[in-house]
A and B are shown apart, each in its own frame.
Chain A
């Protein structure tokens, strides 16, 4: 922890900014019930009220307090995105490394299975699965994680393929190191940078995917608030120059930029470049 703080102090401004934003979001997510002035789905006034001292960000299309929805939205959105991305990366990169190291029929079997899933149009596949399993949060996380894992697998495998032909991996194999050891000690550190970059993006793609699915009528169950659906609910106002939908969109945007600033910093450190 101390080491981390030490690193952070020496980090560039962008990384500090990223950390601050992410910590702020996490705090808001954790303390949502304390911070929010109203209940998550409580109707507090008329629809589309202007910003005021009572309703900081005005009210939404049903007269619910926008600030409250944003605060609860942080909780639902970040929670779901984090769980989904972690599952997808754990599964995807483990399978990818495994395939790259084992080669032969294991690689073939895994790659072909992934090919099958990945070559079915994503949105259609999600639509089919969610219709079969119902649009609950669990199946939403499961389906998106499955689809993302296939992308992660491909990248992880491609990167690892370049690494396994390196001398140091061959040396380790000759030394008789175990599979798990090679994956963890040799491949993971060297394959991490592109994967971390991918993680930063995929994490933010989760809410976009959810908001895309809610565009097609599937997504998080109301009255739970999530930013993706909040953008969707108000999106068409923008064609009239009304800025309401920009608030949740900006929240997503800020988080994306912040997460990726941190990712960039980690990439920079991992690359070992001093310049």
Chain B
């Protein structure tokens, strides 16, 4: 256990280092982008004097490293900075969107993760039967369709034809939890359809892979039932790859939902990011990317620790 704790501290330190590297990579790629915020805000109608005045106002005439240091220095002290364009504090700009993003991701994950694991176990249990194949084909079809298309199909079915759910989220500030769930139902379903198949297939593949191992052969020879074999003997050993793929998908649910947000007009982080890239609102892009990176690193850390804790051989390695 102590070993695990030391590992945790070690990984956390590494995570911070990663964050620092991410901040550099993001800053550099933004610097490489053609055009800048002045050009984007003033658009087609910009004149050279206009642009110069705008850049001066925002401090964009400063050298890159000065801007980087002042931004990252502020970030470390908990000051997320201000949007270059609107001048609003970024904290204010993203607080609600962050909450919306986590709400939607959580909603989808609550359905998708248990569903995927159960389906994966069932498919492995009854592998090569009609049930297995049906689960497989349905799952594969669901992910082989672009996500916006899944969204449109659900909208057509549930909003246009049946009129059961709203086609756009249109959240109001004081919405109750029930109303929120009702309004985010279709986007959450879309995300569930997209991520379930991936996790389910990994669960199934890992389990089947283990079944051929000697100790499971042994268990089978001893007369353990198929169900017992998989749930008691195989599943605990398949945790590492399953947790890894779950972590990837959870992270995807948080950072990769731009398109679903666009289709359902859901005010989350993704759209803000795409917007800010297009507008070259550097500070917002940097800060939001860094927050996402932090989320991702935490997920990874958790998945690594679970993987290690689940494998005694790794845990007690000298």
Contacts and interface: CB of A to CB of B under 8 A. Distances in A.
A216 B317 CA distance: 47
A39 interface: no
A240 B143 CA distance: 22
Contacts of A117: 25
B289 to A, nearest CB: 6
B314 A238 contact: no
A87 interface: no
Contacts of A159: 241
B245 A155 contact: yes
A45 interface: no
Interface in B106-161: 127-128, 133, 136-137, 140-141, 143-149, 152-153, 155-156, 160-161
A245 to B, nearest CB: 7
Interface in B185-221: 197-198, 201-202, 205-206, 208-209, 211-212
A273 B124 CA distance: 12
A194 interface: yes
A80 interface: no
Nearest to B211: A273
Given A132-B33, A194-B209, A119 B292 contact: yes
Q: How large is the interface on B (under 10, 10 to 19, 20 to 34, 35 or more residues)?
A: 35 or more
A241 B160 CA distance: 9
A123 B256 contact: yes
B193 to A, nearest CB: 13
Interface stretch (B49-57, B81-89, B293-301): B293-301
A194 B245 CA distance: 11
Contacts of A216: 258-259, 274
A121 B273 contact: yes
Contacts of A256: 140-141, 143-144
A208 B144 contact: yes
A128 B144 contact: no
Contact of B208 (A131, A154, A238, A267): A267
A58 interface: no
Contacts of A91: none
A127 B313 contact: no
B175 interface: no
B248 A253 contact: no
B58 interface: no
Interface residues of A, number: 64
Interface stretch (B14-22, B60-68, B70-78): B14-22
B140 A155 contact: no
Contacts of A236: 152
A198 B201 CA distance: 9
A271 B208 contact: yes
B18 A132 contact: no
Contact of A257 (B14, B32, B128, B140): B140
Given A123-B256, A232-B148, A257-B137, A272 B212 contact: yes
Interface in A114-133: 115-125, 127-129, 131-132
24 contacts: A12-B128, A116-B22, A117-B25, A119-B18, A119-B293, A120-B26, A120-B289, A120-B293, A123-B256, A124-B273, A127-B274, A128-B33, A131-B33, A154-B248, A193-B208, A208-B143, A215-B146, A215-B262, A216-B258, A238-B153, A238-B156, A249-B146, A267-B205, A267-B209
Nearest 3 interchain pairs by C-beta: A256-B144, A121-B255, A119-B293
Interface of B: 14, 17-18, 21-22, 25-26, 29-30, 32-34, 127-128, 133, 136-137, 140-141, 143-149, 152-153, 155-156, 160-161, 167, 197-198, 201-202, 205-206, 208-209, 211-212, 240-241, 244-245, 248, 252, 255-256, 258-259, 262, 270, 273-274, 277, 285, 289, 292-293, 296-297, 300, 307, 311, 313-314, 317
Given A193-B208, A208-B147, A212-B146, 19 more contacts: A115-B14, A115-B300, A117-B25, A119-B297, A120-B22, A120-B292, A155-B245, A165-B311, A193-B209, A228-B146, A238-B152, A239-B167, A241-B160, A252-B144, A255-B144, A256-B143, A264-B136, A267-B208, A267-B209
